[in-house]
Amino acid sequence: MKKSFYITTPIYYPSAKLHIGHAYCTTLCDVLARYHRLKGDDTYFLTGSDEHGMKIEKNAALNNKSPQEFVDEIVVGFKKLWKALDISNDDYIRTTEKRHVETVQKIFSYFLKNNDIYLGEYEGWYCKECEAFWTDIQVGEEHLCPDCHRPVSKAKEEAYFFKTSKYLDDLLKIYDSNEKFITPESRKNEMINTFIKPGLEDLCVSRTSFSWGIPVKENPKHVIYVWLDALVNYISALGYLQKDDTLFKKFWLNDNCEKVHVLGADITRFHAIYWPMFLKALNLPLPNREFVHGLLMTKDGKMSKSKGNTIDPYPLIEEYGVDAVRYYLAREVNFGSDGQFTPEQFVERINMDLANNIGNLLNRTLSMINKYYDGVIPQFISNINNPYDSDLDQTIINSVKEYEECLNDLRVTDALIAATKIGARANKYIDETTPWVLAKQEDKTPLQSVMTHLAYSLYVSAVLLSIVLTRKSKEILLQLGLDGNINYETILNQHILDNVKINKGLPLFPRLDETIEVEKIKQMMNIK
């Protein structure tokens, strides 16, 4: 049976412009979606925007706009950035869309009917930034939000509550039965020790202090709490409780579909605790994985508009190309750990992996094929007397296997490391086999073996890296004389380039002058 794959980003809050941290998460999801499509899996990739709440209402008023006008303008910017980054999402869900609003209202009504929600009164510490209530223990003596560490204030209002106690045992069983439900494991331990063990209170799921939200049909003065609203996007986008629920059946109810949520650390609590409870209350399957990526920070710490330390990805894309930015985002920070953006690391990564590795290999190989074979790649052979041939062959086989294993486990960074091993080994292979010496020999078989091994190494590298290098990989194939179409099924076909005439072009990744480019990035990013 054909495997299916459903991957989602968190839906981003349109209170301000997106920065490179958002681009990081969405690019990683895009890489995983492209990999599964490359492998032939039936794949669906969702992103979107979370458009309700007090913060939106206030920001809209400050800008003399209605909340809908305010979010409409910002969402245009979101979509523009995803297009600039070659993000291949299949859908973009907005929580203000009719399809989403109706599904959320139906779910709330179902919870009421099923006695999962009750009306009460809430008094506690409220964080307006996170739109979350906290207990005395959680905010501590300094009265700071445990998520964003901003000051909280006392709030009291009538509200509906979701009975978390009803599903707590189910949640703990989920944690025990699926060790990879939340990864990294440290995030699961955080959920248990920080939020569950101190005593998990029932979740406030409505508000009356503002109006910009989805009204409760049974009591319209209440709007549905933004996190119940937002989390439902993962199934409302697929058509849950809608007339056409084909996608929902295909990607959520399908046991053969792997469902993956990628999210930031600051929203782990809602995804890892409340979302599984909501799904249990709806008698729906759970996602297979909730992967918490790390933060991409600057030297000043976590990026935020208030700190003025956000990095705008557009200048980087315009100056260095989308492939360079995508590669840096996917490769530099180990997926799941925190990392730091610096101009020095950006330039070094592009030079090391793209210019020195695959760019250098392409230029050297095609120059030699032009010189020794009039631009036509000869038939693939292996020189049985050359131990370097078998070693390069084995490197390719091992790298492809490692690449697949890593991506199947969502380890994007490790997969790219595996893919670039081929180029590194092939560049070393040139120095080991000395083709300029072989070209002087009467027997041209050793030279033919070297040239075909190098060309094939480039082909495999281009296919593996195509999930990140969305444009340059096709150019590599075009320079190798192919049509530019990526076909994973042929990746281990060593004869794919037999007798193909190459089409050598300009260098794909010119080496960057570190001193000049670092200073240029600092100026464009206003980094000191």
Residue-range domains of the chain with CATH: 4-293 (3.40.50.620), 343-490 (1.10.730.10)
Contact criterion met (CB below 8 Å) for 460 and 482:
no
pLDDT of residue 307: 57
Smallest CA-to-CA distance from 214 within 61, 78, 94, 121 is with: 94
Query: How many helices (H) does the chain have, and how many strands (E)?
Result: 22, 14
pLDDT at 301 over 80: no
| CB-neighbour burial class of residue 185 (10 A; exposed 0-12, middle 13-18, buried 19+) | exposed
Contact criterion met (CB below 8 Å) for 509 and 468:
no
SS3 437: helix
Query: Does the bond joining 184 to the residue before it have cis omega, within 30 degrees of 0?
Result: yes
More confident residue, 332 or 28: 28
Neighbours of 466 (CB within 10 A): 21
pLDDT in tens, 44-88: 999 999 999 888 998 999 999 999 999 999 999 999 999 999 999
CA dist 260 to 40, 95, 172, 252, Å?
17, 20, 19, 11
pLDDT of residue 54: 87
Do the strands 4-8 and 257-264 form a parallel or antiparallel pair, or are they unpaired? Answer: parallel
pLDDT of residue 308: 56
The DSSP code for 267 is G
- Mean pLDDT, rounded, for 220-240: 95
CA dist 304 to 26, 251, 301, 310, 329, Å?
18, 35, 9, 6, 18
- Mean pLDDT, rounded, for 261-269: 91
CA dist 509 to 321, 374, 456, Å?
10, 24, 19
Contact criterion met (CB below 8 Å) for 486 and 474:
yes
Give residue 439's identity as a one-letter amino acid code: A
pLDDT in tens, 432-462: 999 999 999 999 999 999 999 999 999 999 9
pLDDT in tens, 364-417: 999 999 999 999 999 999 887 889 999 999 999 999 999 999 999 999 999 999
- Mean pLDDT, rounded, for 292-304: 70
* Beta-bridge partner residues of 43: 5
Residue recorded with tokens 């794949």? 43
- Mean pLDDT, rounded, for 137-166: 88
Do the strands 153-162 and 223-224 form a parallel or antiparallel pair, or are they unpaired? Answer: unpaired
Structure tokens at 501: 């005439």
The DSSP code for 291 is E
Contact criterion met (CB below 8 Å) for 377 and 500:
yes
pLDDT at 527 over 70: no
Range picked from 40-44, 222-226, 522-526 for highest mean pLDDT: 40-44
Structure tokens at 519: 């200073």
pLDDT at 339 over 80: no
pLDDT at 239 over 90: yes
pLDDT of residue 467: 98
- Mean pLDDT, rounded, for 417-432: 97
Confidence of residue 303 (pLDDT cuts 50, 70, 90): low
pLDDT at 318 over 90: yes
pLDDT of residue 309: 55
- Mean pLDDT, rounded, for 275-280: 97
